[in-house]
Amino acid sequence: MLDYLIIGYGIAGALLAAELRRRGAAYAVVDRAPFESSSRVAAGIWAPLTGLHVARAPWAQQMLETAAEVYPSLERTTELTWYFPQRVFRVFKSPLQQERWLQHRGLPRGPEFLSAWLPPESFPACINAPRGGVEIFGGGRVDTQLMVDGLRRIEQRAGRLYEAEFLPEALHVTDEHIAWGGLTARHLVFCMGSSSLAGTPFDWVPFKSTRGDVLTVEADCNLREIYHGARFLAPAGGGRYRVGASYVHGETTARPGAPEREAIETDLKHMLRVPFRTIDHRAGLRPNTLDNVAVLGSLPCDRRLLIFNGLGSKGVLQAPLLARLLLNYSMYGDALPPEFDVARFMKRWIKSWRLHG
């Protein structure tokens, strides 16, 4: 019997499987054949501070430390290059944004992640930064498609990956074990996209569908750093850059949108002082919870059924630490941080339980 059966193999499933492997647990993964998921489309940028309102990621320092430990080790196992610690710069696009970011630096521990103001002449000639900006310390990028594909091959070679569509009606939970498709396990973890949770024991967790469009462009910039103004601009090698992303709410398909491409290109024209050419446009659906915070934990009535989902746009930074926290909870009974615990949606579970029993 397996210790854990993982359903879904995006960023969450891949990092959870890697942590189980490190701990010597017996596990298997069920995932459909690779498709255009958010994990494969994502630009994979991480930074401890983000957004107009200078949101600091919960547990930012611990997440940075765990990511710096986990990713280089996993990269070596894949024999590929997909982990890129890089300098990250915020280019101020308005006086209000400039004021908010510089105010954050004055907060306790603010200078830990944020530089002093950088004047316009500090930026490369190809970057339009009339209001200057700041450097965000501790950032970088992961090529998420290369990472997930490389780790997926490891699971395939070990015979732990079963390519199949997860059908909730085939799930059987007894006092002795959890069974699905001929596999039996002591625990089951749902890591698939939020749209696939319908009919599962976690279909009461509130998710919202958000499509993210990302472009790949060619530009004569010779940049090695990541710049974030109205959009992010991340070097992808060979004079190519990933640019994005859009946030289209209420979408149910990952079809790239023409209006989003036009909007991203318009913003990039204001950000760059050199011409560029779009060579690719992709999109994926982000698994965002209603409160935009990742969700971990177990079914209130059965600790063997677990969820690791809702990483959203911060998945690369969060996944290594959250995988460890979830397994510490499952294996040793450690408490989960309340901000991530699925129990914060307990009222929805009670309502679902009363309706369906």
Confidence grade of residue 226 (pLDDT, cut at 50, 70, 90): very high
Q: Determine the topology of domain 2-41+145-206+291-356 in CATH.
A: FAD/NAD(P)-binding domain (3.50.50)
pLDDT tier at 70, thresholds 50, 70, 90: very high
The 3-state secondary structure of 60-117 reads HHHHHHHHHHHHHHHHHHHCCCCEEECCEEEECCCHHHHHHHHHHHCCCCHHHHECCC
Question: What is the Cα–Cα distance from 357 to 351, expressed in whole angstroms?
Answer: 10
| Segment 239-267 mean pLDDT | 91
CATH number 3.30.9.10 is the correct assignment for the domain at 83-141+208-289: yes
pLDDT-derived band at 57 (thresholds 50, 70, 90) equals low
Residues in contact with 198: Cβ distance below 8 Å, sequence separation at least 6, in sequence order: 168
Q: How far apart are CA 342 and CA 328, in angstroms?
A: 15
- Position 101 scores a pLDDT of 84
What's the pLDDT at 35?
61
pLDDT at 208: 84
Lowest mean per-residue pLDDT among 62-71, 192-201, 266-275: 192-201
| Residue ranges covered by each domain of the chain | 2-41+145-206+291-356, 83-141+208-289
Taking residues 155-179, what's their average pLDDT? 95
**What is the Cα–Cα distance from 348 to 357, expressed in whole angstroms?**
13
Least confident of 98-102, 110-114, 289-293, 332-336: 110-114
Dump pLDDT digits (tens) for 256-305. Answer: 999 999 999 999 999 999 999 999 999 988 878 888 899 999 998 899 99
72 Cβ neighbours under 8 A, 6+ residues apart? 83
